[in-house]
Chain A
Amino acid sequence: MSESMRNFLIFLLILAVVIGGGVLLNSLFSVPFFLGVTFVAFGLITLGGAVAVVTTRNLFRATIWLMVSLFGIAGLFVLLEAPFLAAVQVLVYIGAIAILFTFAVMLTRSLTQLKDRYNRPYATLAASVLLFAFLTWVIWQVWGNWTPSGDIMLATISDTTDLGVALVDKEGLVLPFELASLLLTAAMIGAIVIARDVDEDEKEKRG
Chain B
Amino acid sequence: MDCVGLCAFVQSLGVADPAIARLIGLIIGGVLVSGVPLLTVIFLILVERKVAARIQDRIGPNRAGPFGLLQTVADLLKLLAKEDITPAAADRVLYNAAPLVSFASVVLIWAVIPFMYADVAPGAFMGVDLDIGVLYFVAVASLGTLAIMTAGWASNNKYALLGAFRVVALLVSYEIPLVFALLVPVMFAGSMSLVDITNAQSHMWFIFMAPVAALMFFISSQAETGRAPFDLIEAESELVAGFNIEYSGMKFGMFFAAEFLHVFTNAVLFAILYMGGFLGVLYQQLPILGFVWLGIKASIIYFISLWLRNTVPRLRIDQVMNFNWFFLVPVSIVNVLLTALILKLAQVAGLAPTVFAESSLLGMLPVTLMLLVKDVLMIIYVMTRVAQEGRSARQAEQRMETDLLASAAGD
Partner of B172 from the list A32, A61, A99 (CB cut-off 8 Å) is A99
Contacting pair B131 A64 (CB below 8 A): no
Contacting pair B131 A160 (CB below 8 A): yes
Q: Which of B4-12, B143-151, B389-397, B401-409 contacts A (4 or more CB under 8 A)?
A: B143-151
B315 interface residue, CB < 8 Å from A?
A: no
Contacting pair A64 B145 (CB below 8 A): no
A18 interface residue, CB < 8 Å from B?
A: no
Interface of A is mostly: helix
A67 interface residue, CB < 8 Å from B?
A: yes
**Which single residue of chain B is at the shortest CB-CB distance from A164?**
B190
Interface membership of chain B positions 104-139, coded 1 if the CB is closer than 8 angstroms to chain A and 0 otherwise: 000000000000000000000000001110011011
B94 interface residue, CB < 8 Å from A?
A: yes
Interface membership of chain B positions 81-117, coded 1 if the CB is closer than 8 angstroms to chain A and 0 otherwise: 0000000000100100000000000000000000000
Q: How far is the CB of A166 from chain B (nearest CB, A)?
A: 16
Partner of B23 from the list A34, A58, A87, A161 (CB cut-off 8 Å) is A34
Interface membership of chain A positions 57-91, coded 1 if the CB is closer than 8 angstroms to chain B and 0 otherwise: 01011001001000000000000000110011011
Q: How far is the CB of A67 from chain B (nearest CB, A)?
A: 6
Give Cα A159 to B139, complex, Å. 18
Contacts of A84 in B (CB 8 A): 131-132, 135
Contacting pair B132 A99 (CB below 8 A): no
| CB-contacts of B175-203 with A (<8 A) | 175, 190-192
Contacts of B143 in A (CB 8 A): 90, 94-95
Of A34, A88, A98, A99, most buried by chain B (CB within 10 Å of CB) is A99
Q: A32-B19, A84-B135, A160-B192 are in contact. Are A99 and B94 (CB under 8 A)?
A: no
**Which single residue of chain B is at the shortest CB-CB distance from A89?**
B139
Interface membership of chain B positions 18-44, coded 1 if the CB is closer than 8 angstroms to chain A and 0 otherwise: 010001000000000000000000000
Q: How far is the CB of A94 from chain B (nearest CB, A)?
A: 7
B168 interface residue, CB < 8 Å from A?
A: yes
B243 interface residue, CB < 8 Å from A?
A: no
Contacting pair A99 B190 (CB below 8 A): no
Give Cα A91 to B139, complex, Å. 5
**Which single residue of chain B is at the shortest CB-CB distance from A102?**
B149
Partner of A67 from the list B23, B132, B146, B175 (CB cut-off 8 Å) is B146
Interface of B is mostly: helix
A135 interface residue, CB < 8 Å from B?
A: no
Number of interface residues of A (CB under 8 A): 25
Q: How far is the CB of A168 from chain B (nearest CB, A)?
A: 11
Interface membership of chain B positions 162-180, coded 1 if the CB is closer than 8 angstroms to chain A and 0 otherwise: 0001001000100100000
Contacting pair A61 B136 (CB below 8 A): no
Give Cα A29 to B130, complex, Å. 29
A96 interface residue, CB < 8 Å from B?
A: yes
Partner of A64 from the list B94, B136, B138 (CB cut-off 8 Å) is B94
Contacts of B130 in A (CB 8 A): 83
Q: A61-B91, A61-B94, A64-B94 are in contact. Are A95 and B135 (CB under 8 A)?
A: no
Give Cα A135 to B145, complex, Å. 36
Partner of B19 from the list A33, A83, A88, A103 (CB cut-off 8 Å) is A33
Partner of A95 from the list B19, B145, B190, B191 (CB cut-off 8 Å) is B145
Contacts of B139 in A (CB 8 A): 87, 90-91, 95
Give Cα A96 to B168, complex, Å. 11
Give Cα A114 to B142, complex, Å. 29
Contacts of A83 in B (CB 8 A): 130-132
Q: A61-B94, A160-B131, A160-B132 are in contact. Are A94 and B19 (CB under 8 A)?
A: no
Contacts of B168 in A (CB 8 A): 99
Give Cα A61 to B95, complex, Å. 12
| CB-contacts of B194-235 with A (<8 A) | none
Give Cα A87 to B138, complex, Å. 9
Contacts of B165 in A (CB 8 A): 103, 106
Q: How far is the CB of A44 from chain B (nearest CB, A)?
A: 18
Q: How far is the CB of A118 from chain B (nearest CB, A)?
A: 23
Give Cα A94 to B138, complex, Å. 12
Contacts of A161 in B (CB 8 A): 190-191
Of B91, B132, B168, B172, most buried by chain A (CB within 10 Å of CB) is B132
Interface membership of chain A positions 132-159, coded 1 if the CB is closer than 8 angstroms to chain B and 0 otherwise: 0000000000000000000000000001
Q: How far is the CB of B118 from chain A (nearest CB, A)?
A: 22
Partner of B135 from the list A61, A87, A103 (CB cut-off 8 Å) is A87
| CB-contacts of B303-317 with A (<8 A) | none
Q: How far is the CB of B177 from chain A (nearest CB, A)?
A: 15
Q: Known A-B contacts: A33-B19, A87-B136. Give 13 more (CB < 8 A).
A: A34-B19, A60-B94, A61-B91, A61-B94, A64-B94, A64-B150, A83-B131, A84-B135, A90-B140, A95-B142, A99-B146, A99-B149, A160-B192
Q: Which 7 A-B residue pairings sit nearest by Cβ, starting from the closest?
A: A95-B142, A90-B139, A87-B135, A91-B139, A87-B139, A87-B132, A83-B132
9 contacts between A and B (CB under 8 A): A58-B91, A60-B94, A61-B91, A91-B135, A94-B146, A95-B139, A95-B142, A95-B146, A96-B142
